[in-house]
Amino acid sequence: MDQTNAVRAMGALAQTHRLGAYRALVVAGQQGLSAGAIAEQLSVSPAALSFHLKELMFAELVTQTRDGRNLIYRTAFDRMNELVAFLPSNCCEGRPCGLQAAAPCDC
């Protein structure tokens, strides 16, 4: 992940409803959640949630698939792992410091 993509991802998460939606999707795992289920969990109107989910998809943190009449949203775990790995990538100017990187999520 490069700096531009990291800023885009962190910017997408820097809003209460988007962060809440993202965390709900992380908990849901590969099963994902419908937009209605996310809206209900967060007590957000479907129209507002749609805007927030588009921002998460633009940052490539979330994917969307159709299941009949429902849109199912899922966390892009590979992208999440890239962001988590990017944050400490230049820790201590490249010198060993004992910081342990978070283990990638393999959900």
* Nearest partner of 75 among 107, 41, 102, 35, judged by Cα: 107
pTM of the model: 0.86
CB neighbour list of residue 13: distance below 8 Å, 6 or more residues apart = 19, 22, 56, 59, 61
Q: What is the pLDDT of residue 98?
A: 65
Q: What is the pLDDT of residue 107?
A: 66
Structure token digits, residue 28? 């849901």
Summarize pLDDT for 30-83 with one digit per residue, the tens.
Answer: 999 999 999 999 999 999 999 999 999 999 999 999 999 999 999 999 999 999
Q: What is the CATH number of the domain that holds 11?
A: 1.10.10.10
> Which structural domain, as residue segments, surrounds residue 64?
3-86
Please count the structural domains in the chain. 1
**Residue 106 clears pLDDT 90, i.e. is over it:** no
In a domain, 99, yes or no: no
